[in-house]
Chain A
Amino acid sequence: MMLYGPLIVWLGLSFFGPYDVTQGVYSKLLYIHVPTVWVAYLGYTLTFLYSVLYFFTKKNKYDSLAMANAKSGVVFTVVTLLAGSYWGKQTWGTWWVWGDARLNLTAILLLVYLGYIASRQFNKDLAKTARNSSFIGIFGVIQIPILHFSVIWWRSVHQQASILSQETVASGDAPMSTDILVTLLLSVLLVTLVHVFLTKKFRITNDILWDDYLNPKSRAKI
């Protein structure tokens, strides 16, 4: 229930929220596209931190947390790609632009973390699997700064950042109307909550796997 509350409020807010007059109603996809990708970044950053912690401490709870954050990150990356693609169709005039740095790098980001999840199946020994996967969790995070600055480093069809840009951070003025800005920031907060509860859910699955691995006898009884 804690998961669906913020989810419903967020979707309602996106549906009834204000929109950019030039782009039309489809610019409401801003409230889906931007918060989900930020929270995906958050998830992968946490995957990185927990992977480092697991690598040095070998405590299974850190592996569970790294895995849960990566799973949730993948969910939000898929959402951001779908919302972004639909937005692109409505404004740019195309679903996808092959050859655009930001779009391609986002697709690769998704593939890397799908790879992270797939790597959990490489070895039947969970401790070895966790150690191997922690490498992907650690190195995968390099992509986030590259992705964020891709629109500055390379010419892109994608618009520049509105909030996390040098101009906005320096001046404190985002290039958007106050009502749009407030709706966007509320969406970010709500999606972060969704992520927290989604991660909790995924963590339980991983904890059960670890429990089975560490206490094989209790499993035999079932």
Chain B
Amino acid sequence: MKKNFIIVLLGIGLIIYASTIIASRNTIYYYTTSETLEINISDSERIKLGGFVVEDSISKDGGFTIFTITDGNKDIEIIFDGFVPDLFQENMGVILDGTLNDDTFYADDMLVKHDNEYVSSDGETYNVENYSE
């Protein structure tokens, strides 16, 4: 009985420990554009960069998609070579994975970050400011 009890307690301890480690390691899952321009990173260091796609900035050049993202303060030009999710469009939040070279970000992986507003085809829209970041 004692043995099993210790196993159970150890198990719970391990799980709580693991979740805190995982959670604290990912406090910054991605950087904003302002943060990216402030921190010192080498040309070869891969980072994740998040921001909103600027209107009228999307263009195609060969296999590359070129666009600009912003966090409201600083803009960064993105040269993207990879799979573009269907939802990718102007004003949408995106998270990119790649490297920064002379203030241009070369990315090959994109996640589209959808907001928490749901508007149906015949529904009215609400104006709720939920994006505090």
A, B from the same assembly: yes
Interface of A toward B, CB cutoff 8 Å: 18-24, 27, 30, 90-94, 97, 99-101, 104-105, 108, 111-112, 115, 119, 122-123, 125, 128, 132-133, 135-136, 139-140, 142-143, 146, 150, 153-157, 159-162, 165, 167-168, 171, 173-180
Which residues of the partner chain B approach A136 to less than 8 Å between Cβ atoms? Answer: 8, 11-12
In the complex where A92-B85, A93-B110, A160-B116 touch, is A179 in contact with B123 (Cβ < 8 A)? yes
The contact sample of 9 A-B pairs, CB cut-off 8 A, is A19-B120, A23-B118, A27-B118, A93-B86, A100-B26, A132-B4, A155-B50, A157-B95, A179-B122
Are the CB atoms of B128 and A173 closer together than 8 Å?
yes
Q: Count residues of B near A (Cβ-Cβ below 8 Å).
A: 50
Q: Is residue B29 contacting chain A, with contact meaning CB distance below 8 A?
A: yes
A-B interface, 3 closest residue pairs, ranked by CB to CB distance from nearest? A177-B123, A93-B85, A176-B118
Which residues of the partner chain A approach B113 to less than 8 Å between Cβ atoms? Answer: 92, 157, 159
Which residues of the partner chain B approach A115 to less than 8 Å between Cβ atoms? Answer: 11, 15
Are the CB atoms of A162 and B83 closer together than 8 Å?
no
Which residues of the partner chain B approach A104 to less than 8 Å between Cβ atoms? Answer: 19, 22-23, 26
Q: Is residue B56 contacting chain A, with contact meaning CB distance below 8 A?
A: no
**Alpha-carbon distance A49/B88, docked complex (angstroms):** 44
Bits for B85-129, please: 1 = Cβ < 8 Å to A, else 0: 111100000010000000000000011111111111111111011
Are the CB atoms of A108 and B18 closer together than 8 Å?
yes
Are the CB atoms of B114 and A23 closer together than 8 Å?
yes
Q: A91-B87, A99-B25, A101-B29 are in contact. List 13 more A-B contacts (CB 8 A).
A: A21-B119, A93-B112, A99-B29, A101-B26, A104-B19, A128-B1, A132-B8, A154-B23, A157-B111, A160-B130, A162-B118, A167-B128, A179-B123
